[in-house]
Amino acid sequence: MNTPLLGKVALVTGAARNMGRAFAYNLAEQGCDVIVHYHSEASLKDAEKTAKLINDLGRKSLIIQGDISRASVAENLFTQALEAFGKIDIVVNNAGAVLKKSFIDYTEEEFDSLFNINCKGAFFIMQNAAKKLEDNGRVINIGTSLLGAFTGGYALYAGSKAPLEQFTRALAKEVGARGITVNTICPGPIDTAFFHAQEDPQSVAYLSAASVSNRLGKVEDIVPMVSFLASDQSQWTTGQTLFVNGGFVAR
């Protein structure tokens, strides 16, 4: 097995299932030990499955639960990871929440909930990464191609993910002298439970047709971009927002 990241330690937030699990597994395939973060007790069994997949590859894993929308919890996530592994080389800032709803129907509680995880939580993961990553480390944020789309129903999801672009540019500038790169990947509609929970058959058909391949994206379509950005070959790529969506939208 080719293991270009052998000896590295990766932290993946929201790694219990869907894309997060795939990112964690792929990084382990390449040689990383992996911190598997999950949000709530309801995701524990899924997080344990992710950890087992990593361990079966001969890599080490550590499962950590926490609501990273609280800055102290985000900081503690890094503290526990460093206590266990001694360093962190790669952070995949993947945890997120989504709710499809008409603009006029969102409540204040829903606004706070989505911004707390997608914006505030992502910010404090990046802040801790800036403080605690090894030199030549990698910060890989997961955004959304809805940042470039003209579509309704996702005002709070897209709006709460939009700040990642500016966070990415600002942090890339501040940590670049240490060789750390910071980028945001913006997937299009991906065939996961996370996506389907918000959609009906008509919208799935519409979004599938929007791709040049007439299909939804697959997790496997996004994993190679994470793999590249985690690698030494991505050193000249930083501060970027990278759309990976099969032609769903361009910007």
Enzyme catalytic residues = 157
Q: How many CB atoms lie within 10 A of CB 42?
A: 9
| CA distance readout (Å), 141 to 120, 138, 223 | 13, 10, 13
What is the C-alpha to C-alpha distance for residues 180 and 141, in angstroms, rounded to an integer? Answer: 13
3-class state of residue 65 by DSSP: strand
Identity of residue 24 = A
Q: How many CB atoms lie within 10 A of CB 115?
A: 18
| CA distance readout (Å), 181 to 8, 19, 58, 66, 163 | 15, 21, 28, 25, 18
Torsion angle defined by CA atoms of residues 161, 163, 166 and 172, in that order, rounded to the nearest 10 degrees: -60
Instruction: Give the position of tokens 């060789």.
Output: 179
What is the C-alpha to C-alpha distance for residues 71 and 69, in angstroms, rounded to an integer? Answer: 6
3-class state of residue 174 by DSSP: helix
The C-alpha angle with vertex 213 and arms to 96 and 92, in degrees rounded to 5, equals 25
